[in-house]
Structure 1
Amino acid sequence: MEIGLIRVDSRLIHGQVITKWLNYSKANVIVVVDDELSKDSFMSEIYKASAPNGIIVEILSIDDFMKNTGTHKYSNKRLLILLKNIETVYELYLRQFKMEHIQLGGLPSGVGKKAIYKAIFLNEEEINKLRDIANSGVYIDMQVIPEDTKSDLMKMIK
């Protein structure tokens, strides 16, 4: 299994992911890890239908994703892993899923959240979770589209 990109973006599969990030990551499998969406067969089918021909899309719970990574299911596959929120990426971190790089994309504003970078809003709890992940050696950057310059999260939140 190769990881082309781990992206945290509340929109999951959308136009920029299909037209830009899929090519950038050189992935042949999109894996959406989201407990709620994995239980919604209607919305899952909509997301799957949005992928180009030849691209496999899986929508999995955290448990199922972790089970799959412990097998040979993704042998000879290059993955674009999409996560809706910081809580999911933090849960993967707690379960010791090996990550070297995490990219933050669109994360919406809300009560208690502040703008960190363009369309990325985080609250203190999310920042602390990301700080824990970064302190373990994972590089976390922010990049809305590939043409944007990457911004190092840890430098932005100091």
Structure 2
Amino acid sequence: MAIQWIRIDDRLIHGQVASSWLRHIGAEQIICVSDAAASNPVQAQVLKMAAPGYIVHLFGVDKFIRVYQKNPIKKSTFVILGSTADLLKLKEGGVDVQNVNYGGMRERSDRTIRYDHDLCFTPEEDEALKTLIEQGVKIDYQMAAYDAPTPLMDYIKQVKKGE
């Protein structure tokens, strides 16, 4: 499988991804999967320039599923999404999703479920997370490449216990 790493981070490609995650993983290209970014020409252009030296592709969720089904990924690839709901759609669309690295989901008005300052979900995202875990997807929480990964649900339990 050419997909080496799948990360959920609502910032998509940002400094930490471009400077440390890509070196840590050794991927040749990045595929961003985001309906909002794919439909925004300015954001699309910024994302394509955010990781100098890397090929960056940007797809909406449904388009990526169609492309993935017809064209096997051959290059080592870092896939980044902005939501667990989008990840669930990819998995249901036939994309091989077994391990996921979870970065952060910051607070927004529609993210009413808050586990931590950078771990907030819409009800749809929270349900998608639970479904993915029930389906056996291994999801680790790891903000930076040099941090030790922690199973996401263990992290959520730790945060809840500290309240």
For 2:15 and 2:156, locate their aligned partners in 1 and report how far apart those are by CA, in whole Å: 28
Of stretches 120-129 and 86-95 in structure 1, the one that deviates more from structure 2 is 120-129
Query: For the aligned residues, what is the CA RMSD?
Result: 1.9
Contact 1:100 1:138 survives alignment (8 Å): yes
Which residue does 1:78 correspond to in 2? 76
Corresponding letter in the other structure for 2:2 = E
| 1:8-87 equivalence runs, <5 A | 8-53=8-53, 55-72=54-71, 74-75=73-74, 77-87=75-85
Extract unaligned runs of 5+ from structure 2. 158-163
Conserved? CA contact 2:3–2:78, under 8 Å: yes
Secondary structure of the residue that 1:70 maps to in structure 2? helix
* Shift, 1:71, TM fit: 2.8
Q: What letter is aligned with 1:127?
A: D
AA at the equivalent of 1:24: H
Q: Which 5+ residue runs of structure 1 have no aligned equivalent?
A: none
Match of 1:122 in 2: 121
**1:95-148 CA distances to partner (integer Å, 9 max, x unpaired)?**
2321111111021124522134x6222355433321211111110011000111
> Where has structure 1 moved over 4 Å in runs of 4 or more?
none
Q: Could you tell me how far apart the structure 2 residues matched to 1:145 and 1:157 are?
A: 17
1:24 deviation in Å? 1.6
Q: Return the offset for 1:73.
A: 5.2
2-structure distance, mates of 1:49, 1:124: 32
Q: How many residues align?
A: 155
Q: Give the structure-1-normalised TM-score.
A: 0.87
Which residue number in structure 1 is paired with residue 140 of structure 2? 141
